[in-house]
Chain A
Amino acid sequence: MPLDHAGPPGADAPAPGDTDANLHARLITEALGAYPDKFGKRRAKHLATTDLTKSDCGVKSNVKSIPGVMTIRGCAYAGSKGVVWGPVKDLVHISHGPVGCGHYSWAQRRNYATGVTGVDSFVTMQVTSDFQERDVVFGGDKKLKAIIDEIELMFPLNRGVTIQSECPIGLIGDDIEAVAKEKSKETGKAVIPVRCEGFRGVSQSLGHHIANDVIRDWVFPRADAKPDDGFETSPYDVNVIGDYNIGGDAWSSRILLEEIGLRVIGQWSGDATLAEMERAPKAKLNLIHCYRSMNYIARHMEEKYGVAWMEYNFFGPSRIAASLRAIAAQFDDTIQANAERVIAKYQPMADAVIAEFGPRLKGKKVMLYVGGLRPRHVVDAYGDLGMDVVATGYEFAHKDDYARTLKYVREGTLIYDDVTAHELEHFIQGIRPDLVGSGIKEKYGVQKMGVPFRQMHSWDYSGPYHGYDGFAIFARDMDIAVNSPVWSLFKAPWTEGTTGAPAPADMADAAE
């Protein structure tokens, strides 16, 4: 039951009108012109301008990236180890295969977690089987068993291990499931095999799905078989699902849920423990933030354990208030009254934040290109600040994401699915937005074009952005990006008319 949208806040502001849609359509045509015919036709299906009378954004999604185009996507391993499993803090996650995958994803995603690293928390560690040629030739199962033994010796307080498969595992025919069963029997701890080889699927998305299925197949059955631990449930038990605690996002969300009187019995998977995952089916309601990466397990919990689920959005005061009310509506009058009280408590702070930063941000044009939920979920947070998202897209969305997106965006919004570096650069040059929100690979090139930028995966090493506390930081950070004095320094005073430099008007705009 997705959260109902009444439309974005600020919808009464002047609409960009047809001219934007025309511009966007022209930019699409221009960008496609650079491709060889066959691939231009394929890419055309992933680019559109929104028509709010339709059921979704009108783009094809979740299909293979075209070779050689500089897709921004990652892989299934990134979706499982990097997103879903990596943040679970009391398990040791083995990057099983060659050294690189674990290295590049080591401590990069800012999944904050409490605990003592290397003792009872392992989130920011890189544990790998460091495959060598002989492992590829002879198989890695024996080595994997030895690794699990050594992890027991080195990290006795771990609650188990996960085996995050890298590409070679599935290609050489290793039986990691057999190893997992054998070692789990031996240690009595969870040993969780994940078939998230990077070549599977078309993006991170299949990695999320596989990781979810592994929770279904390897975590819940084990928990179901355990004797009752005496955990006393309450009518107010909820799980936070699909919040990875980037810069502490899940914490600045949890504090609100607890304040309205709910009890968060599981936080998935940012700052999670295995116990929180095992206990989740005992909740009354699953609250899903990142639908894309964890809807699968929520649906499973609904079918098998009867746990209802709903989506919510804790970006920006409009959506936070709407979400708190929608969540509270699932509970009794007390919770609903609490929700009103909490909204009333925080709204003045949010108003003060808008009063502080809004005047400098109002009317600024934003382009987004991110991952699971943010290309739509942050639209109204920008709206709260008077900013206007004119273009957005996803690395690994499915059709249902684009249907949900339509409820957030304006008519004529430019939509790009699995955008290529070539297309994104062309769109940014054509639109000349006041801010781009995307990832580290995009950041520096965009900034060199004179366009302010914030990383919207890692919060550019800031955050949290969720909740009321996070909104203040979000607003401050957007102001830091858009209104920095450095944007006015790009043009050397003696290079009037230098080709390639942005027009002075553009620069002045950005610096205002």
Chain B
Amino acid sequence: MPQSADAIKDYATLFQEPEYQAMLDAKRAQMECGHDAETVAETLAWTKGWEYREKNFARKAAVINPAKACQPLGAVFAAAGFADTLSFVHGSQGCTAYYRSHLARHFKEPAAAVSSSMTEDAAVFGGLSNMVDGLANAYALYHPKMIAVSTTCMAEVIGDDLQAFIAGAKEKGSVPADFDVPFAHTPAFHGSHTTGYDNMMQGILSHFWKDRDRQPNGSLNIIPGFDGHCVGNIREVCRLLDLMGVDYTVLGDASDVYDTPSDGQYRMYAGGTSIEATKAALHAKATISMQGACTTKTLALCREHGQETAELAYPLGVEATDDFLLKVSALTGTPIPSALTLERGRLVDAMTDSQAHLHRKTYAVVGDPDFVTGMTRFLLEIGAEPVHLLATNGSKAWAAALQSLLDASPFGSKATIWPGKDLWHLRSLLCTEPTDFLIGNSYGKFLERDTGVPLIRLTFPIFDRHHHHRFPTWGYQGGLSVLVKLLDKAFDVLDAATGDLGSTDLAFDLTR
């Protein structure tokens, strides 16, 4: 009997016990009508070859393991950055359950959002009454100061008009006439979660900024973009700006709502950008987007209102952080303080100490476009070589910009950029042209298993490791923590390769 009360075996080991192995073998042999082991092994080997890769890249219709989610997820994330704001997703209710689960699994935090719960009758008659009832209930039960409305694809396909519906709901008294209900149409059949982020951010800002006079001041707006590390990163950006001593507003600050304490109280709302601050942000001199590919429409709105805009691409590492600080300095006329010069020097010092272990190591990077660009830039500046750079939701323009970054570095020549490709493409790339390491999210663990390329988890979503999002990846401090992750994985791999007692452990060095 495999189980016992004093040494309980669970999912991880129970089924490796002989009783279970025999049972599973018998099931396979007698009941499953599967393929024989030889056929499976041959087919597996074939899926790892060049012929398969060519067929795989010839795919035009099937999308297999794409590294992207749909728009409303980004919209719900964007709305979470505003104080006392409840996301209201108009359409089928299952979608909202999915976004909430997805965000909770990554942040290990509750993620509140309501749905208008549309069903067949709404498909026929439209979802107006769902909006009217839904806003009334959400307002009464959850006491938000703002309700941010986005849409599932159901509402988009039947053509529900949010502006008219929200106005209709206000007329019926669902929420007070002056209650803030910004909205964004977020069709899942266009773009990805980063598009949804952009649409909701634009929707919220245009709601508060429209028809108001701008009286420019010297303040800056910072838009973080869709970022699984928002908790650590927004706090790090605030710290840098506080050290600079500039006036700024983070537009969409989800660092508190996704990092609430355990002290006996559940906070549905925590922190976030207040309505007053959002309104006042109209007067800012400039808006800096930390992730340009996430904020195309939002920055266009800022420019329409007369603000200067600047876009970064996930400021990770030395030069990207330099660019951020220089941009802040140029826009505000504030010098960069010596404390930051010191910090910069410390990151460069750490890189100097360790670069030999990463020199010419090869990497595949997958994630949202801005992340891939930022990560690539850091790899180049430490002397590592990016090889496969893939963003399922990356555009041709993104690829072109990243290509110029690669062209400018002697370490960029091995790289190929793959916009629009999925993780099944990446599997073929890693099987035929393996890299030393893979940088991505938790879905990368399937690639690590299939190809043997070690995975470093550095971007959204991270489900199977805990709390990474609480540490920054941006700024000099973020660069340091990313550097340590790259090094830890490299040393772990090296120790594993030299760690067999009495055989490979000749090189099992104590000091590396």
When distances are taken between beta carbons in the complex, the residues of chain A under 8 Å from B44 are 116, 119
Residues in chain B near residue A448, CB distance under 8 A = 110, 260-267
CB-CB < 8 A to B47: which residues of A?
Answer: 118-119
**Of A21-29, A100-108, A319-327, the one with at least 4 CB within 8 A of chain B:** A100-108
The answer to whether B110 and A445 have CB atoms under 8 Å apart is yes
- Select from chain A the residue with minimum beta-carbon distance to B101: A440
Q: Does B341 contact A (CB under 8 A)?
A: no
Complex contact B63–A127 (CB within 8 A) = yes
A463 adjacent to chain B (CB < 8 Å): yes
Q: Looking across the interface, which residue of chain A has its beta carbon closest to that of B116?
A: A67
Residues of A within 8 A of B72 (CB): 100
Which residues of the other chain, A, contact B119 by a CB distance below 8 angstroms?
A: 64, 199-202
Flag whether A146 is at the interface (Cβ < 8 A): yes
Q: B73 near A120 (CB under 8 angstroms)?
A: no
Residues of B near A166 (CB, < 8 A) are: 153
B470 shortest CB reach to chain A, Å: 14
- Measured between alpha carbons, how far is A112 from B140 in the docked complex, in Å? 42
CB distance from B39 to the nearest CB of A (A): 7
Which residue of the partner chain B has the closest CB to A355?
B5
Interface residue A41 (Cβ < 8 Å from any Cβ of B): no
Q: Which one of A51-59, A132-140, A408-416 is at the interface?
A: A132-140
Residues on A with C-beta less than 8 A from B112 are 70, 421
CB atoms of A441 and B104 under 8 A apart: yes
B157 on interface, CB distance cutoff 8 Å: yes
Q: How far is the CA of A255 from the CA of B23 in the complex (A)?
A: 7
- A72 / chain B contacts, CB cutoff of 8 Å: 97
User: What is the bound-complex CA distance between A64 and B118, given in angstroms?
Assistant: 9
- Within 8 Å of chain A (Cβ to Cβ): is B65? yes
A241: Cβ under 8 A from any B Cβ: no
- Give B137's nearest chain A residue, CB to CB: A68
Contacts of B408 in A (CB 8 A): none
Picked from B11, B93, B265, the residue with its CB within 8 Å of the CB of A74 is B93
Q: Which of these, B40, B61, B93, B122, contacts A116 with CB under 8 Å?
A: B40
Contact with B along A111-146 (1 / 0, CB 8 A): 010111111100011111111110110000001001
Alpha-carbon gap, A349 to B9, bound state (A): 13
Looking at A377-385, A397-405, A499-507, the stretch in contact with chain B turns out to be: A499-507
A472 touching B136 by the CB < 8 A rule?
no
- B450 and A118: CB pair below 8 A? yes
Query: Are B189 and A114 in contact, with the CB atoms below 8 A?
Result: no
B390 at interface by CB-CB < 8 Å: no
CB distance from B414 to the nearest CB of A (A): 26
Q: A129-B62, A136-B157, A473-B10 are in contact. Are A71 and B117 (CB under 8 A)?
A: yes
Q: A157-B39, A167-B91, A167-B157 are in contact. Are A464 and B101 (CB under 8 A)?
A: no
- A101 close to B55 (CB less than 8 A): no
- B136 in contact with A68 (CB, 8 Å): yes
Of the candidates B8, B60, B73, B104, which one forms a contact with A444 in the assembled complex, judged by CB atoms under 8 Å apart? B104
Chain A residues with CB under 8 Å of B116's CB are: 67-68
Contacts of A120 in B (CB 8 A): 34-35, 40, 43
Binary contact track A59-93/B, C-beta < 8 Å → 1, others 0: 00000111111111111111000000000001000
In the complex, B213 has a CB within 8 A of chain A: no
Q: Could you say which residues of chain B place their CB within 8 Å of the CB of A302?
A: none
Cα distance A275–B28 when bound, in Å?
A: 11
Q: Which residues of A contact B120 (CB under 8 A)?
A: 199-201
Contact partners of B108 in chain A: CB under 8 A: 444
Q: Which residue of A lies closest to B267 (CB)?
A: A448
B11 contacts A441, CB within 8 Å?
no
Name the residue on A nearest B130 (C-beta).
Answer: A67
Nearest B residue to A72 by beta-carbon distance? Answer: B97
- B189 CB contact (under 8 Å) in A168, A247, A500: A168
Of A168, A254, A422, A490, most buried by chain B (CB within 10 Å of CB) is A168
Q: A64-B117, A150-B62, A355-B5 are in contact. Are A35 and B140 (CB under 8 A)?
A: yes
Q: Which residues of B contact A116 (CB under 8 A)?
A: 40, 44
Segment among B12-20, B198-206, B241-249, B371-379 that sits at the interface with chain A: B12-20
A99 contacts chain B at the CB level, 8 A cutoff: yes
Taking a contact as CB atoms under 8 Å apart, the answer to whether A67 and B266 are in contact is no
Contact A115 B140 (CB under 8 A): no
- Closest B-chain residue to A146, C-beta based? B61
B81 adjacent to chain A (CB < 8 Å): no
Q: How far is the CB of A91 from chain B (nearest CB, A)?
A: 12
Taking CB atoms and an 8 Å cut-off, the chain A residues in 481-512 that contact chain B are 490-492, 498, 500-502, 507
Contact of A99 among B4, B6, B192, B424 (CB under 8 A): B192
Contacts A75-B92, A103-B69, A441-B111; is A151 near B62 (CB within 8 Å)?
Answer: yes
Contact of A100 among B14, B70, B122, B446 (CB under 8 A): B70
Complex interface: chain B residues within 8 A of A124 (CB): 446
Contact A199 B23 (CB under 8 A): no
Q: B342 within 8 Å of A by Cβ?
A: no
B356 within 8 A of A: no
The residues of B that contact A266 with a CB separation of less than 8 Å are 31
- Determine if A36 is an interface residue (Cβ-Cβ < 8 Å): yes
A268 → B minimal CB distance (Å): 12
Cβ of B109 within 8 Å of any chain A Cβ, yes or no, is yes
- Cβ-closest chain B residue relative to A255: B23
- Asked if residues B11 and A112 are in contact (CB atoms below 8 Å), the reply is yes
Q: Per-residue 0/1 for A161-173: is the Cβ within 8 Å of any B Cβ (1 yes, 0 no)?
A: 0000011101110
With the chains together, A345 CA to B104 CA distance in Å? 42
Is the beta-carbon distance between A157 and B64 smaller than 8 angstroms?
no
Q: Contacts A98-B188, A99-B188 known; A446 to B14 CB distance under 8 Å?
A: no
Contact with A along B115-159 (1 / 0, CB 8 A): 111111011000000110111111111100000000011100110
Q: Which B residues lie within 8 Å of A440 (CB)?
A: 101, 104-105
B2 part of interface (Cβ distance < 8 Å): yes
**Min C-beta distance of B488 to chain A, whole Å:** 24
B190 at the interface (CB under 8 A from A): yes
Q: Does chain A have a CB within 8 A of B208?
A: no
Among A97, A99, A444, which residue has its beta carbon within 8 angstroms of that of B109? A444
**B141 touches which of A70, A78, A170, A498 (Cβ 8 Å):** A70
Please give the distance in Å from B68's CB to the nearest CB on chain A.
6
Query: Separation in Å of the A258 CB from the closest CB of chain B?
Result: 6
Which residues of B sit under 8 angstroms from A463, Cβ to Cβ? Answer: 10-11
A191 within 8 A of B: no
Selected contact of A352 from candidates B6, B35, B188, CB within 8 Å: B6
Which residue of the partner chain, among A133, A349, A498, A500, contacts B4 with CB atoms under 8 Å? A349
A337 in the interface, Cβ–Cβ < 8 Å?
no
Say how far A109's CB is from chain B's closest CB, in angstroms. Answer: 11
Residue A462 is within 8 A (CB to CB) of chain B in the complex: yes
CB distance B61 to A168 under 8 Å? no
Among residues of B, the one whose C-beta sits closest to the C-beta of A446 is B266
Cβ-defined contact, A154 with B56, below 8 A: yes
Asked whether B10 lies within 8 Å of A75 as measured between CB atoms, the reply is: no
Q: Is the CB of B110 within 8 A of A98?
A: no
| Min distance, Cβ A442 to any Cβ of chain B, angstroms | 8
CB-based contact B133/A66 at 8 Å:
yes
A67 touching B32, Cβ below 8 Å? no
Cα distance A463–B113 in the bound complex, in angstroms: 29
Question: Known contacts being A157-B39, A440-B104, A447-B262, is A36 close to B137, with CB within 8 Å?
Answer: yes
Q: Which of B237-278 contact A (CB under 8 A)?
A: 260-268
Q: CA separation between A128 and B94, bound complex, in Å?
A: 18
Beta-carbon contact of B10 and A462 below 8 Å: yes
Could you list which residues of chain B lie within 8 angstroms of chain A, going by C-beta atoms?
A: 1-6, 8-11, 14-15, 19-20, 23-24, 27-28, 31-35, 39-40, 43-44, 47, 55-56, 59-66, 68-73, 88, 91-95, 97-102, 104-105, 108-120, 122-123, 130-131, 133-142, 152-154, 157-158, 187-190, 192, 260-268, 424, 427, 443, 446, 450
Closest 3 CB pairs of A and B: A75-B94, A100-B70, A67-B134
11 other contacts beyond A66-B133, A441-B101, with CB at 8 A cut-off?
A: A70-B115, A126-B65, A132-B189, A154-B56, A157-B43, A171-B123, A254-B23, A274-B33, A422-B141, A501-B265, A502-B264
14 contacts between A and B (CB under 8 A): A66-B137, A71-B97, A98-B153, A104-B101, A114-B27, A127-B64, A128-B63, A143-B61, A154-B56, A154-B59, A276-B32, A356-B6, A464-B10, A507-B264
